[in-house]
Amino acid sequence: MDQSMTGVVDKRTPYANGEVAATYRKVSWRLVTFLFVGYLVAYLDRINVGFAQLQMQHDLGFSDAVYGLGAGIFFAGYFIFEVPSNLMLEKIGVRKTMMRVLICWGVVSACMRFISSPIEFYVMRFMLGVFEAGFVPGAILYLTYWYPETRRARVLGIFSSAITIAGVIGSPVSGAIMTHLAGVYGMAGWQWLFVLEGIPAVVLGLLVPYVLVNRPRDATWLTRREQDILDHHLASERGLNGADRRHTFGDALKDPRVYLLAFVYFAIICGIYAVSFWLPTIIKNAGVKDVFDVGLYSTIPYGIGALGMIFISRHSDVKMERRWHLAGCAFIGGAALVMIAATAGNLTLALVAFAIATATIFTGMPLFFALLTSYLSGTAAAGGIALINSLALLGGFVSPAVMAWAKTTTGSFTSGLYFLAALLALAGLAVLLCVPAQALRETGKRAVGEISPDGAVLEQPVLSDS
């Protein structure tokens, strides 16, 4: 191969920097883009109940408590079925797993238009959680089959930014559907919302066999040399980090640090769903009465949050530092929730506070999983990621329940936001006090010494001292 066409080749690797970067771009455009769209659709189907609430509560006579329980019970189904789903992915592969997940949750989401009572609402939300379980931890596990640790935070940042892009796109779209389709063919606007936002998941599920493959060696759209590049980087990382030790799911179950990490992610999830489920309501309470306008205003914090996720995640990769990035996001996000409570009656200040909260709390997701996937390997990664994710996603049940309780008993969301802010502060302290800095520094030194964030092999590792 002509080195003048591909760039300088480092003496410790047979691959030029340019072809390495081109290989990862090729993988990202195909796999990360597809998973990103899948997560965007998943998040829309998960939180569109926040917009549906603006009409559904009135039409069906649901109280804030009924809505809060229905919004949160999704995560009970998710909790029960997530670990089995991810362990099954290891056995049957990503294609069968993702097809099942996408098609089933799309059908259930569309069938939400038939609910007419609290019991039906609870059952459908529970089933949506059952069928969606496994998508996010499965996607995270799948990406570790393709990307070494030095690229993982930014890739996970792009993937996780789907939840903020879902807000940017979904908020005005949801508002427009509910405003302009209300009454069409005898269906309420919220019924159209569930139907139209459920169909894309089914379509994506049908596309899975044509887009996803289980491992780099199965990818016919990569050349043999491109497959070798991926295998070289992943094998080098496994050797350097000791990841060829095959941890079992039982090892993960017995590791107390797994449960500590689950608490950290639990707090992040509580903060995320405090924003996701209640942002439309808080904007409406600030004086915006038109549903479509509520959707437009909601795009502001989500748009800023998306930029924040990508920038902070990339900075974490460049510095190969996870602890302070993650803890800092938890601290600032908690402070932003306090700001939301203090500025809830002022639309401008509330949007500023929501933007800060979104940019920091949501960024905790990719930073957390970048840290986690460097800690777990083997079967422990498949089961451990799912275990932590499922335990933490109980925060999606706790958060709306706490907020609904606060609104019902006090007439405002203030006490609920203070409680969630305290959880985030504790999570930040847990990361700094209980996650071993030395171990992460050594992991970073080995990883960066092998492959730099831009795909080159470094002679001198560049690390943060944090």
**pLDDT tens digits along 173-203:** 888 898 889 889 999 999 999 999 899 999 9
Residue 410 counted as domain residue: yes
Question: What pLDDT shows up at residue 56?
Answer: 86
> Is residue 10 a part of any domain in this protein?
no
Average pLDDT over residues 47-55: 79
Task: Give every CB contact of residue 460 below 8 A, 6+ residues apart in sequence.
Answer: none
pLDDT given at position 215: 85
User: What are the distances in angstroms from CA 7 to CA 1, 3, 15, 128, 442?
Assistant: 11, 6, 9, 49, 29
* Residue-level pLDDT at 373: 67
Q: Which carries the bigger pLDDT value, residue 266 or residue 383?
A: 266
Query: Is position 462 within any domain?
Result: no
- The candidate with the shortest Cα–Cα distance to 62, out of 117, 129, 9, is 117
Residue 6 has pLDDT above 50, yes or no: no
pLDDT at 459 (0 to 100): 34
pLDDT at 5: 39
58 found inside a domain: yes
Rounded CA gap, 265 and 370, in Å? 12
Q: Is residue 292 part of a domain?
A: yes
**Pick from 381, 309, 320: nearest CA to 143:** 381
Q: Can you tell me the mean pLDDT for 428-441? A: 73
pLDDT in tens, 16-47: 778 888 899 999 999 999 999 999 998 887 77
Here the CATH number for the domain that contains residue 434 is 1.20.1250.20
Task: For residue 54, give every residue at least 6 positions away whose Cβ sits within 8 Å of its Cβ, in sequence order, or none.
Answer: 178, 190, 280, 281, 284, 291, 294
Query: pLDDT-based confidence at 436, cuts 50/70/90?
Result: low
Task: Say how many domains are in the chain.
Answer: 1
Which residue range(s) make up the domain with 300?
A: 16-211+231-240+251-450
- Look at residue 70 and tell me if it is in a domain: yes
Lowest mean pLDDT among 45-54, 156-165, 245-254, 350-359: 245-254
pLDDT at 350: 87
First to last CA, the chain: 41
With bands split at pLDDT 50, 70 and 90, how would you rate the model's confidence at 460?
Answer: very low
**Cβ of 23: how many Cβ atoms within 10 Å?**
22
Establish if 29 belongs to a structural domain: yes
Question: CA 418, 423, 427: angle at the middle one, nearest 5?
Answer: 145
Whether residue 311 lies inside any domain: the answer is yes
Please name every residue paired with 9 in a beta bridge, in sequence order, or none if there are none. 16
- At residue 455, the pLDDT reads 39
pTM above 0.75, yes or no: no
Q: Which residue has the higher pLDDT, 425 or 386?
A: 425
Residue 53 confidence (pLDDT) above 50: yes
CA atoms within 13 A of residue 221's CA, in its CB half-sphere: 15
Average pLDDT over residues 410-437: 88
Q: How far is CA 236 from CA 13, 20, 190, 217, in A?
A: 10, 14, 51, 17
At 264 the pLDDT is 93
The average confidence (pLDDT) of the chain is 80
